[in-house]
Structure formats: structure tokens, C-alpha cells
Amino acid sequence: MENNRQNAADIEREIPVSEPERQYYFIERARNDLKKMEEAAGRQLSFCVTTFGCQMNARDSEKLVGILEQIGYIEEPEEEKADLVIYNTCTVRENANQRVYGRLGQLGRIKKKNPHMMIALCGCMMQEPEVVEKLKKSYRFIDLIFGTHNIYKFAELLATRMESGHMVIDIWKDTDKIVEDLPSERKYSFKSGVNIMFGCNNFCSYCIVPYVRGRERSRDPRAVIREIERLVADGVTEVMLLGQNVNSYGKTLDKPMTFAQLLREIEKIEGLERIRFMTSHPKDLSDELIEVMGQSEKICKHLHLPVQSGSTRILEKMNRRYTKEHYLELVRKIRKAVPDISLTTDIIVGFPGETEEDFQETLDVVRQVQYDSAFTFIYSKRTGTPAAAMADQVPEDVVKNRFNRLLAEVQEISVKKCSVYEGSVQTVLVETKNEHDDSFMTGRMSNNLLVHFPGDESLTGKYVDVSLDECRGFYYIGKIVKG
Ligand code: SAH
Ligand code: SF4
Ligand code: F3S
């Protein structure tokens, strides 16, 4: 547990106004409320947090879990059996929303059978007023709804729901606040996500994130360093620095600093072995950053650099603010500075107005760059974004056809790229027991590739050298070499 402040707060005292003290007060208060509920139920009550979407949401969920554990709830991995179910939602594409509605219907039926059950919803979907309206109208059984900007207030909102017995809804339009030093419970003991910034100012024309995550704000570098130092003291050796556009880190600080400068500071932290970050926006990827990556001992040999489209014409309509040539030039520079770097990307197919020629430009970039892997998405119309109002939405069958052709190309290249390490020995950080075979462990190479090898759980969190015996498409089977 990080920042485990033992707060013997006397809940009779005045409610603190400043944060995070206020939330520690409400954690104490919710703990009392929970005790009463447990007495009534005659058993301990449990929670289950389900996360949709990106790594930011995953990190937010760790904060929710940290708070819930301090309140005294126990974790229940199976949603159907939990007394408090929380959905931390994503709305980046329409299918993410549909999944939430589908599962909510099911939860409603389970709740009818468990009188102690509560359901809470938070995350990006909740920042859309139409969603909250729909939930209020058709999903009356939900107990608590809050958004992305006030997630730090979770303890206070939960206590309010427990004490009032009514549905509690609290959504903020935006915030410039960053609350530090709240509890959080990591999923892995040896690695952790670390937010370095929140929000996004880029307004890519297809994307809803700036509307649901608010304006870009960077955390104070001292707070970032302090958090990483604490994590390292607690056994973490790999961090993933998180932001929608990490390359513009620091621009809004009182004392501006660049992302490259922040990386230099983080590199100095003793005991930290690996640094990862995401996501990098090509328009802000600086020569300074490329230089730091080239010199660093700790920054992993992996760069996720979403291209979205290979057509300069479409990139302009997407408001990405780079051209195909600029992107390819960046790739050339980064490969020169870090020759064995793994490059991955995100690609959208079927953006409004995309022609076969535009699509061919995307395929051309894919062939030229030779991505180690690529996440491919079918364009999804998001209400309120400029692209949703654009003419020439591409017909579904055309998009599907392009998507399939792109996927085939991307996969063929990935398999080829993955296999080049066959026969070599690589250092991996051992992460988990293999899902399919108990006698195997799974480790991650610096370049983000996974290797499965015989081993036991005592290896978790350790760095071991593994020989990459056999490439199986997108991963390796190997064995530990002594050393
Ligand atoms: N901040 C990151 C991306 C965050 S969203 C960046 O700029 O790269 C993750 C990915 O979802 C995006 O890179 C994009 O490829 C995809 N995406 C975002 N909005 C989308 C939409 N409306 N339809 C389809 N894919 C979308
Ligand atoms: Fe969305 Fe663009 Fe911001 Fe990424 S940079 S979150 S794609 S608006
Ligand atoms: Fe989804 Fe929100 Fe992340 S919309 S992709 S969870 S920032």
C-alpha cells in the first residue's frame, strides 16, 4: 500500500476543507458506515472494480482499490459475487459504451437478489451528459455516478451514498486541480503506472478524450519523482509514465520543463531499472527526446508512436498537425539513435472522406516503417467531435474491407519482426504465471515482447536471462539460461 497514512481521524471533528486530508477523513467515515452495513449483513462485504479503456483508467482503478481497501472492503474477483461493483468506463469508441450497457443489464438482475449490493459507475463515459441522462432514466438501480475530474473524491461520494441511501451523482465539467498523496493499491508489486499529466489539448477531430478528460495539466516534477522514489522503495523496478501526450509534458507548469528533462531526472533514481512511457504524439516528439532515448540506460527500447493515417490529406482533416513525410523522418531519426528499438502504432481506418488512395498511403507507411505491432481501429463516430459532423462518412463494407487488408499486412510484418530475435538471449522482467500452463512463467523484454518459459512464481518481479528458442508469431517460448 502506498501512502498508507494511519489516520485515526475522529469523525466527530470538523470536516477538513483541504485535500487530501478531507478524503482521509471520509475514508474513516466510510469505514464506520461499512462496519454498520457488515453488522446488518452478518458478513464482510466485498468489492470488484472492472476497468475498461486505457492505462490511465487502469491507474485510476488502482486508486479506487486503494481507497476501498482502506475503507475495509475485501476484494472479490468475481463481479457477480461482489457487494460493491464499480465500472470504470471508456468512451473512446462506440463499442466500449455498448459493452457497459450490456453488462449493466445483467448486474441489475443480480442486484435484485443481493440486498447489500451497490453499483457505481465512473470514468470517461460519465463525462457525457447524454450517458448520465440515460442511466438516470433507464438504470435506476445504480447507486453512485461520478466522473474523471473528481475521482479523488471517491471516499466522500461513497460515504454520502452509504449515509443517504439515495443515488448520488457528481460530475464536474473540468478541473485544474491535481490532488496528490491519496492511497492506491498496485496490481503488480514490481511495476507501476505513474501519471505525469492529465487531460489533452490536441483535439484530434475524431477523438472524444479532450472532452471527457479536460484540459492538459502536468504534475509537478517533484511530485512525480517523489512518487517513483516511494514506489522503488516498495519494490517497483519498472514504471510506465502515463499521459495522452507525454511529449508535451511540462508546458503548463509554473516553471516549464520538457519531457526529456523529466526523463533525465527519473533516470537518476537509484533502484529503478526500466522506464516506459505512453503515449507519444508525433507532432511533439523532439530531437532532445530522441537524444535522451539514445543515451539512456533505463528507457526501454520501445516507442509507441500513433500514426493514425498515412495520408497527409487525412492527417490534416484529423487535426494531427504532422505530414506523412514528417512522420517517416521521425522514424528515421529514432531508428538512427536507437537502432534496435521496437516501434508500435495506432491506425484508424475509415475516417470521413478516406479514399482508396488515402488508404494506400497508410499501407505505404506500414510497409516503410515495419511496425513491430499496430493497433488497428475502425473509425467510430463520437457525438460532439468535429469529425462526426463531416460529410463523406465511409460506407461500412468499404471500411471493413480496408480494415481486413490492413490487419493482414500489419500481422504479416509483426510476425516477421518478432522472429528476428530467435536464438538470442534477452533479459526479461518476470511478470506472471502463464495463463494456459502453470509450469510456465511470462516475462517481458525491454522491447515489450513477451516470452513464456518454464519457471515458478518465486521468479515474479525478477530479471532473468532467457534464451528465445522458438518464435510463435507474436511471442516466444524460451528457457532461463544460468548466469
Ligand atoms: N493520446 C493517444 C491516443 C488515445 S486514444 C494519442 O494521441 O495517440 C487511443 C487510440 O484510439 C488512438 O490512438 C486512436 O487510434 C483510437 N481512437 C481514438 N478515437 C477514435 C475514434 N473515434 N474511432 C476509432 N478509433 C479512435
Ligand atoms: Fe485523442 Fe488526439 Fe488527444 Fe490522443 S492526442 S487523446 S488522439 S485528442
Ligand atoms: Fe477510454 Fe478515457 Fe482512456 S475514453 S481510452 S478510458 S482516456
Strands 168-170 and 191-195: unpaired
Instruction: Kindly give the number of the ligand 1 atom that is closest to the alpha carbon of 304.
Output: 8
C-alpha 407 – ligand 3 centre gap (Å): 23
202: Cβ below 6 Å to ligand 2?
A: yes
pLDDT, residue 243, reads: 97
Residues 142-170: what's their mean pLDDT? Answer: 96
pLDDT, residue 10, reads: 59
Report residue 116: phi and psi, to 5°.
Answer: -95, 0
pTM value is 0.94
Pick from 197, 202, 206, 207 the residue to mutate for probing ligand 1's pocket: most ligand atoms within 8 Å of its CB: 207
C-alpha 467 – ligand 3 centre gap (Å): 37
What does the pLDDT look like over 190-233, one tens digit per residue? 999 999 999 999 999 999 999 999 999 999 999 999 999 999 99
Asked whether the predicted pLDDT for residue 483 surpasses 60, the reply is no
SS3 for 311?
A: coil
**What's the one-letter identity of residue 280?**
S
The rounded percent of the chain whose pLDDT value lies above 90 is: 94
Which residues sit with their C-beta closer than 6 Å to ligand 3?
A: 53-54, 56-57, 90-92, 124, 209, 212-213
pLDDT, residue 17, reads: 94
Which residues sit with their C-beta closer than 6 Å to ligand 1?
A: 92-93, 206-207, 209, 244-245, 279, 281, 306, 308, 346, 348, 377, 379-380, 382
pLDDT, residue 13, reads: 79
pLDDT, residue 11, reads: 63
Are 186 and 75 spatial neighbours (Cβ–Cβ below 8 Å)? no
Of the candidates 328, 326, 319, the one whose C-alpha atom is nearest the C-alpha of residue 352 is 319
Pick from 54, 95, 148, 377 the residue to mutate for probing ligand 3's pocket: most ligand atoms within 8 Å of its CB: 54
210: Cβ below 6 Å to ligand 2?
A: yes
Mean pLDDT of the chain, nearest integer: 95
Q: Retrieve residue 214's grid coordinates.
A: 479536460
Asked whether the predicted pLDDT for residue 6 surpasses 90, the reply is no
What does the pLDDT look like over 403-418, one tens digit per residue? 999 999 999 999 999 9
pLDDT, residue 482, reads: 74
Ligand 2: residue whose CA is nearest its atom 2 = 204
C-alpha 210 – ligand 3 centre gap (Å): 10
What does the pLDDT look like over 298-353, one tens digit per residue? 999 999 999 999 999 999 999 999 999 999 999 999 999 999 999 999 999 999 99
Quote the distance between the C-alpha of residue 180 and its chain's center.
Answer: 19
Q: Retrieve residue 422's grid coordinates.
A: 530467435
Q: How far are the Cα atoms of 223, 306, 342, 468 from residue 410, in angstroms, in the given order? A: 39, 14, 14, 23
213: Cβ below 6 Å to ligand 2?
A: no
Instruction: Kindly give the number of the ligand 1 atom that is closest to the alpha carbon of 380.
Output: 23
The rounded percent of the chain whose pLDDT value lies above 70 is: 97
Residues 60-89: what's their mean pLDDT? Answer: 97
Ligand 1: residue whose CA is nearest its atom 15 = 346
Burial class of residue 129 in the structure, from the number of CB atoms within 10 Å of its CB (0-12 exposed, 13-18 middle, 19+ buried): exposed
Q: Which residues of 66-75 are buried (b: 16+ CB within 10 A; e: fewer)?
A: bbbbbbbbee
Q: Retrieve residue 28's grid coordinates.
A: 474513516
- Find the radius of gyration of the CA atoms of the chain: 23
pLDDT, residue 112, reads: 94
Residues 408-434: what's their mean pLDDT? Answer: 96
Q: How far are the Cα atoms of 195, 233, 277, 463 from residue 239, in angstroms, in the given order? A: 10, 13, 8, 15
Q: Retrieve residue 367's grid coordinates.
A: 510497409
Of the candidates 415, 402, 343, 412, the one whose C-alpha atom is nearest the C-alpha of residue 376 is 402
Asked whether the predicted pLDDT for residue 67 surpasses 60, the reply is yes
308: left (phi over 0), alpha (psi -120 to 50) or beta: left
Q: Retrieve residue 227's grid coordinates.
A: 512518487
pLDDT, residue 2, reads: 44
Ligand 1: residue whose CA is nearest its atom 14 = 346
Asked whether the predicted pLDDT for residue 7 surpasses 60, the reply is no
Directed axis angle between helix 221-233 and helix 259-267, to 10°?
30
pLDDT, residue 49, reads: 98
C-alpha 398 – ligand 1 centre gap (Å): 20
- Please give the torsion angle defined by the CA atoms of residues 188, 190, 191 and 192, in that order, rounded to the nearest 10 degrees: 70
Are 447 and 372 spatial neighbours (Cβ–Cβ below 8 Å)? yes
Q: How far are the Cα atoms of 163, 378, 406 from residue 401, in angstroms, in the given order? A: 54, 11, 9
Edge-to-edge strands of the sheet including 118-123?
74-75, 46-51, 84-89, 118-123, 144-146, 168-170
Asked whether the predicted pLDDT for residue 9 surpasses 80, the reply is no
